[in-house]
Amino acid sequence: MTRIGFIGLGNMGLPMAANLVKAGYQVKGFDLSPSALQAANEASIATTNSAVETLEEAEVVITMLPAGHHVRAVYTDEEGILNHVTKGVLLIDCSTIDVSSARDVVSAASARGFDMVDAPVSGGVGGAQAGTLTFMVGGTDEAFERAQPILEAMGKNIIHAGGAGNGQAAKICNNMLLGISMIGTCEAFVLGEKLGLDHQKLFDIASTASGQCWSLTSYCPVPGPVETSPANRDYVGGFAAALMLKDLKLSQEAARDSGVATPLGQHAASLYEEFNEAGQSDTDFSGIINFIRNGAN
Ligand code: NAD
């Protein structure tokens, strides 16, 4: 039975760790937050008093943390993973972070002889609970092959995106496209309303014509056409606007670092920033339609 140390038992980490336990792995988890530790114990996940303790006897270490600086610290600090983990351990970081931090940490890990992958996810808390996440994985072929069976216990689609950092690159490119397409879809519905076009009619036509995209057909931002859309639940739950803003900012940081112009990505980031600042950070990201309807520019 493979022993796994799991650091970061928040909204995503906790259900992911629970699925590993369900699949028969022996998991020891740690989080800085006492309430996260308590929730883990209630979900029958063994916990420790420090990150270092989760590493004892671990054959695989998984991290699910908020941002790049947390990941850098947890791996490379004096008391960090790389200084305490035993030889041959596989390292998997599932956090969504900037590409540079991901590449730096993987390179520090490989300099010490460890296999490590960046493996950010798509699918949200629902996907983490159901074990249906998509993992976008960056790393060597060998590291990917070792990580794959473990990721399969938490997800449905495990895709090798290339070398170190390419998992993060895929995640932010995808989510930049998603932010832009959601805003475009919202604008089309708001313009349609002003022109006297019924929501359902616009949906029926655009979803079978060239305007078709996931934001329209799977996550329609107006109530009615797609039963599962957060639009039918007053934009509660789903993918929070704060997380969309985080990913758009990461895309803009990467665009700047690599000298690429992404004008629509930049505009999407500033619209989501205004939306968040208007107190909507917990609202589902498709709720930006109300902001656009009220004259965002
Ligand atoms: P979260 O804030 O709920 O959980 C992060 C956990 O990390 C917290 O419990 C925090 O206490 C813990 N933590 C921070 N520093 C730590 C340290 N040094 N040692 C131990 N624990 C530490 O966040 P989340 O929603 O679980 O998201 C985790 C990652 O997954 C983020 O990078 C996020 O962008 C990404 N993500 C989230 C979603 C989502 O829908 N929530 C979807 C896809 C990707």
For the segment 166-208, what is each residue's pLDDT rounded down to a tens digit?
999 999 999 999 999 999 999 999 999 999 999 999 999 999 9
When the pLDDT of each residue in the chain is averaged and rounded to a whole number, the result is 96
State the closest ligand 1 atom to the C-alpha of 247, by its place in the atom list counted from 1: 34
pLDDT in tens, 90-130: 999 999 999 999 999 999 999 999 999 999 999 888 899 99
- At 91, give phi and psi (nearest 5°): -110, 130
- Structural domain including 204 reads 169-293
Residue 16 in contact with ligand 1 by CB distance below 6 A: no
Based on the fold, state whether residues 112 and 154 are members of the same structural domain: yes
| 171 Rama sector, left if φ>0, alpha if ψ -120 to 50, beta otherwise | alpha
Q: What is the number of structural domains in the chain?
A: 2
Q: Is the pLDDT of residue 297 over 70?
A: no
Q: Is 22 a catalytic residue?
A: no
Q: Say yes or no: 15 and 132 in one domain.
A: yes
Ligand 1 pocket, residue 32 CB under 6 Å: yes
CB 244 within 8 A of CB 233: no
**Same structural domain for residues 55 and 180?**
no
Domain boundary among 105, 129, 162: 162
Closest alpha carbon to 80 in 17, 15, 5: 5
* Type of residue at 241: A
Which of 236, 227, 233, 221 shows the shortest CA–CA distance to 288? 221
Q: What is the pLDDT of residues 238-274, one digit of tens each?
A: 899 999 999 999 999 999 999 999 999 999 999 999 9
Give the angle 186-190-194 at the CA atoms, nearest 5°.
165
Residue with tokens 């957060």: 230
CA distance linking residue 221 with residue 229, whole number of Å:
7
Query: Any bridge partners for residue 61, and if so which?
Result: 5, 91
Q: 28 with 61, same domain?
A: yes
> Which residue, judged by its Cα, is nearest atom 4 of ligand 1?
10
What long-range pairs does 264-267 form, CB within 8 A, spacing at least 24? 264/180, 265/176, 265/179, 265/180
284 within ligand 1 shell (Cβ under 6 A): no
Rounded Cα distance between 2 and 152, Å, is: 14
- Residue where a domain terminates, one of 162, 195, 218: 162
| Section 135-159 average pLDDT | 98
CA of 31 relative to ligand 1 center, distance in Å: 10
Q: 241 with 282: CB under 8 angstroms? A: yes
Of ligand 1's atoms, which has the minimum distance to the CA of residue 95?
Answer: 32
Task: Tell how far the Cα of 37 is from the centroid of ligand 1, in angstroms.
Answer: 13
* Chain segment 21-47, per-residue pLDDT in tens: 999 999 999 999 999 999 999 999 999
CA distance 128 to 8: 14
pLDDT of residue 214: 95
Q: CA dist 274 to 36, 223, 280, Å?
A: 31, 23, 9
State whether 68 and 126 are in the same domain: yes
Q: Are residues 217 and 142 in the same domain?
A: no
Choose the residue to mutate in 53, 65, 284 for probing ligand 1, maximizing ligand atoms within 8 Å of C-beta: 65
CA-CA distance, 195 to 172, in Å (whole number)? Answer: 34
What residue owns the CA closest to ligand 1's atom 20? 31
Give 239's Cβ-side CA count (13 Å radius). Answer: 24
Same domain, 132 and 185: no
Do the beta carbons of residue 249 and residue 289 sit within 8 Å?
A: no
113 phi-psi bin (left φ>0, alpha ψ -120 to 50, beta other): left
Q: Assess whether 138 and 184 both reside in one domain.
A: no
> What is the reported pLDDT for 295?
86
CB of 66 closer than 6 angstroms to any ligand 1 atom: yes
What separation in Å is there between the alpha carbon of 205 and the centre of ligand 1? 39
Reading the block at residue 196, the tokens are: 């006297």
Are 235 and 200 in a shared domain?
Answer: yes
Confidence at residue 77, expressed as pLDDT on a 0 to 100 scale: 96
Percent of the chain with pLDDT over 70: 100
258 & 136 share domain: no
Domain CATH number, residue 210: 1.10.1040.10
The answer to whether 286 and 235 have CB atoms below 8 angstroms apart is yes
Residues 183 and 38 in one domain: no
CATH of the domain at 127: 3.40.50.720
Answer with the one of 162, 197, 216 that is the final residue of a domain: 162
Q: Are residues 176 and 156 both part of a single domain?
A: no
